[in-house]
A and B are shown apart, each in its own frame.
Chain A
């Protein structure tokens, strides 16, 4: 059995597979189905300071090789999550990453502080790039990115991941801002803004017109962002998320530079996908005579697999 463990801040994860924020809800639903085999960490749906109902139906619209969503950050609010959902998650065999967002850095600071005492929370993921709410995402403005991250880092005690968009500007700009402000890493990417229009009526299908595209369609986009970010930030923790639904996608994401790999759309279709992927990764590593999954990370930046890790470290 190969060593699949991966590091997330000071937490050691069983596998590099992370349930991305959104499709896995707040964890309890998957816990009921014992669908957590192979999961290294569970990222909650994004929490806000107070409850949000989210967007009206329709919230899911099919797209070639994926789906567009317009859920709109439906969540019970941080306090309700802490009281009603988190206790059930404490016994999980996986680490917990709490995804959060707010309108201003002060609120983020308060939320981060509130989570400081929760031992089971391994990290905070700041959702700075949701395509499904009004206003410009904070991730578009590097100054705001820095402020949000700084607030979470200064007021809280958890490692902070900044979740950035796949389709807006140069990822190195907000990435640099986040890491300079103290972020431990970056989650790349959020769903990609898209539109679908009713062919019978000529009207946009979503009430908010735009939705977020996820699924295999966005895998190459996510890989590009991860590759680019890894080149620019050799030491940052990178969670590569976007379109991974099989072992091939998982491997590509690791090769591109992701330390951890998020699965979202794939879990919606197959709740036990993480367990399947972990078993396949284990077999693949054995077939290739590779002892540790972590050796695959950034292989694309050092001439592919088979190059000794020591040399790769020098190349960084």
Chain B
């Protein structure tokens, strides 16, 4: 599928869902602490790269967790999960067919925020690779380079065809490699743990089109509760509704 058709089909112009959709795990591939988990979620819009979904176990009234979408097809969503926390462990270890609820997708797609004329270096750390991997899949022509960092090489089997930067092999971290890979003219799209985002924002301070996708404990997911508000140079902004992608210079506290 070429970039245009893929972008169009992936960009089904349906609005996000405000109701829960029943979902169940259909496929899982695990490494020692990360997994790709695919959920069948009939009726869930596929959304576009950069968006996230909320997931919780079926039959609870508890607050869901936000996950960036790693891959999506009509009625199916794939997450890249680290095995920590109760829900994530349930996704990681539970039986195939285990039931969850999903709603979304929420957040502004990356392509609505970034300069479409530029090509980007994608810098991901840990689970932060999920939206970048999807972005690269849907818009290969907008990707100048990828730098995906992990502590160990355990995830190599989960991310075939992708070169990884692992701390245990060579001791290099994603932001360090990113500095070496970046060339003038490239934009930067970064997603990962806050210390990594901080290093990336520092390293490319002043460069044009440097964006960070922020993670936050999301409450409602639809911009109402202000549980994920952050201070930016444009005032208070909500990670769930105004983000998750922000220009690095908008979040100076990150640096």
- A residues with CB within 8 A of B: 22-25, 29-30, 32-35, 45, 53-54, 56-62, 65, 67, 69, 71, 74, 215-216, 245-246, 265-272
Contact A60 B61 (CB under 8 A): no
The distance from the CB of A75 to the nearest CB of chain B, in whole angstroms, is 9
Chain A: CB-nearest residue to B17: A33
When distances are taken between beta carbons in the complex, the residues of chain A under 8 Å from B229 are 53-54, 57, 59, 71, 74
Q: Determine the distance from Cα of A51 to Cα of B16 in the docked complex, in whole angstroms.
A: 29
* B216 within 8 Å of A (CB atoms): yes
Chain B: CB-nearest residue to A32: B222
Contact A54 B226 (CB under 8 A): yes
Q: Determine the distance from Cα of A49 to Cα of B225 in the docked complex, in whole angstroms.
A: 20
Task: Supply 19 further A-B pairs (C-beta < 8 A) apart from A53-B229, A61-B217, A269-B62.
Answer: A23-B220, A25-B223, A25-B224, A29-B223, A29-B224, A30-B224, A34-B18, A35-B18, A45-B226, A58-B216, A59-B217, A59-B226, A59-B227, A60-B218, A71-B225, A215-B63, A216-B61, A270-B20, A272-B19
When distances are taken between beta carbons in the complex, the residues of chain B under 8 Å from A245 are 61
The distance from the CB of A41 to the nearest CB of chain B, in whole angstroms, is 16
Q: Determine the distance from Cα of A265 to Cα of B63 in the docked complex, in whole angstroms.
A: 8
The distance from the CB of A38 to the nearest CB of chain B, in whole angstroms, is 13
When distances are taken between beta carbons in the complex, the residues of chain B under 8 Å from A57 are 216, 228-230
Contact A67 B63 (CB under 8 A): yes
The distance from the CB of B12 to the nearest CB of chain A, in whole angstroms, is 18
Given A269-B56, A269-B63, A69 contacting B220 (CB threshold 8 A): no
Contact A53 B61 (CB under 8 A): no
* B159 within 8 Å of A (CB atoms): no
- B residues with CB within 8 A of A: 16, 18-20, 56, 61-64, 216-220, 222-231, 235-236, 241
What are 25 A-B interface contacts by the 8 Å CB criterion? A22-B225, A23-B219, A25-B224, A25-B225, A35-B18, A54-B229, A56-B231, A57-B228, A58-B217, A59-B229, A60-B217, A65-B62, A67-B63, A71-B227, A74-B226, A74-B236, A215-B61, A245-B61, A265-B63, A268-B63, A268-B220, A268-B227, A270-B19, A271-B19, A272-B18
Chain B: CB-nearest residue to A67: B63
Task: Give the tally of cross-chain contacts (CB within 8 A).
Answer: 96
When distances are taken between beta carbons in the complex, the residues of chain B under 8 Å from A271 are 18-19, 220, 222, 224
The distance from the CB of A55 to the nearest CB of chain B, in whole angstroms, is 9
Q: Determine the distance from Cα of A54 to Cα of B225 in the docked complex, in whole angstroms.
A: 12
Q: Determine the distance from Cα of A265 to Cα of B64 in the docked complex, in whole angstroms.
A: 11
When distances are taken between beta carbons in the complex, the residues of chain A under 8 Å from B228 are 57, 59-60
When distances are taken between beta carbons in the complex, the residues of chain A under 8 Å from B241 are 29
Given A53-B236, A272-B19, A67 contacting B224 (CB threshold 8 A): no
From B20, B62, B219, B236, contact of A60 by CB (8 A): B219
The distance from the CB of B82 to the nearest CB of chain A, in whole angstroms, is 16
When distances are taken between beta carbons in the complex, the residues of chain A under 8 Å from B225 are 22-25, 71, 268
Q: Determine the distance from Cα of A22 to Cα of B56 in the docked complex, in whole angstroms.
A: 22
When distances are taken between beta carbons in the complex, the residues of chain A under 8 Å from B226 are 25, 45, 54, 59, 71, 74
Q: Determine the distance from Cα of A202 to Cα of B45 in the docked complex, in whole angstroms.
A: 42
Contact A60 B222 (CB under 8 A): no
